[in-house]
Amino acid sequence: MSHVLAAAPSGTNADSIAVETVFWILAVLSVGAALAMILVRRAVHCAIMLAVVMLCLATMYAMLGAPFLAFVQIIVYTGAVLMLFLFVIMLIGISSADSIVETIKGQRMAAGLAAIGLFVVLILTIGHAAIGPAAKTTAANGADNLTGLARLIFTTYVFPFEVTGALLITAAVGAMVLAHRERTTPKPTQRDLAAKRLASGHLAPDPAPGVYALHDAADRPALLPDGSTSELSVSRTLSPRDPGEEPRFVRPEETVAVTTESGEPVALPTTSSREADS
């Protein structure tokens, strides 16, 4: 033990043991989360697993002497990019689970073999490269990490930094152009909407959910005066209990396509349907 103590002060030795422990915990956690990310079927679960990996990596950046990158990782990746992913998942559909059918025969086997090959090649390259131990000082570029990074970005890397700004604004404009939707049909006027409501045969506003129902909740259908419940009162997004299942009840006017492409008002309902109602 004496030579160990002579080689390094006891404080740094305890520190290195702590750093090593934290590294192994984070390594196991991040690899497990990454494996779970490619194995779970729901996209939302993938996003959560990716958040775990990113937070582990942020902690590792802090351990590697890059506190600025650690915070950028949390703010930009976990905060902004992953929220963007979640927004798109919500827009596209929370139930968009992956199909487990192989469309190309033997694709998973080939992917596994390619992954093993890539892993072996990369590990052999790293083993061949003889990476040395950590350098003692990083203070050559500035007083601390943030000052050194700022000096590098605004002197040596100032042109890539400017190009990055151009890239970001191009990406923002491109996203706006791609996400913009042109209206192909004319906007329905108030007259069109009134005619559509008349055609639906349901003139009064919808009953409010939960009113006079057994439970005061938004997903409970209202009780009608005759004692029956009205499925019309429940929002369509609330009515299916399982995200994968179709809505229980579809409004009658949504099954009937009321077209106003020509700009003409929709014909009023014939008297036969009114007589059928009464």
Partner 1 sequence: MSPIHYVVLSVILFVIGGVGVLVRRNAIVVFMCIELMLNACNLAFVAFARVHGNLDGQVIAFFVMVVAAAEVVVGLAILMAIFRARRSASVDDANLLKY
Query: Which 225-264 positions form the footprint of partner 1 (CB under 8 A)?
Result: none
Give the contact letters, 181-220, x = binds to partner 1 (CB under 8 A), - = no. Answer: x---------------------------------------
Out of 2, 10, 11, 133, the only residue in the binding site for partner 1 (CB under 8 A) is 133
Which of residues 39 and 224 has its CB atom nearest to partner 1 in the complex? 39
Q: Distance of CA 28 to CAs 33, 34, 52, 53, 89, Å?
A: 8, 10, 12, 10, 28
Which residues in the 40-79 window bind partner 1 by CB under 8 A?
A: 43, 46-47, 50, 53-54, 57, 60-61, 63-66, 68-69, 72-73, 76-77
Shortest Å, Cβ 225 to partner 1: 40
Out of 7, 140, 203, 257, the only residue in the binding site for partner 1 (CB under 8 A) is 140
Number of residues that bind partner 1 (CB under 8 A): 87
Shortest Å, Cβ 85 to partner 1: 6
Q: What span, in angstroms and rounded, lies between the C-alpha atoms of 34 and 74?
A: 17
Out of 12, 14, 25, 96, the only residue in the binding site for partner 1 (CB under 8 A) is 96
The DSSP bridge partners found for residue 129 are none
Which of residues 12 and 189 has its CB atom nearest to partner 1 in the complex? 12
C-alpha count within 13 angstroms, C-beta hemisphere, residue 101: 2
Shortest Å, Cβ 6 to partner 1: 21
The β-bridge relationship of strands 222-223 and 229-230 is antiparallel
Which of residues 66 and 266 has its CB atom nearest to partner 1 in the complex? 66
Provide the Cα torsion 123, 128, 134, 137; round to 10°: -130
Which residues in the 158-187 window bind partner 1 by CB under 8 A?
A: 160, 164, 167-168, 170-172, 174-176, 178-179, 181
Which of residues 126 and 214 has its CB atom nearest to partner 1 in the complex? 126
Amino acid sitting at position 221: P
Out of 153, 193, 224, 250, the only residue in the binding site for partner 1 (CB under 8 A) is 153
Which of residues 168 and 208 has its CB atom nearest to partner 1 in the complex? 168
Binding flag, residue 134, partner 1 (CB under 8 A): yes
Q: What span, in angstroms and rounded, lies between the C-alpha atoms of 139 and 116?
A: 39
Contact 58, 93 (CB under 8 A): no
Q: What span, in angstroms and rounded, lies between the C-alpha atoms of 68 and 52?
A: 19
Largest CA distance in the chain: 103
Name the residue with tokens 């007259």.
191
Out of 1, 135, 143, 276, the only residue in the binding site for partner 1 (CB under 8 A) is 135
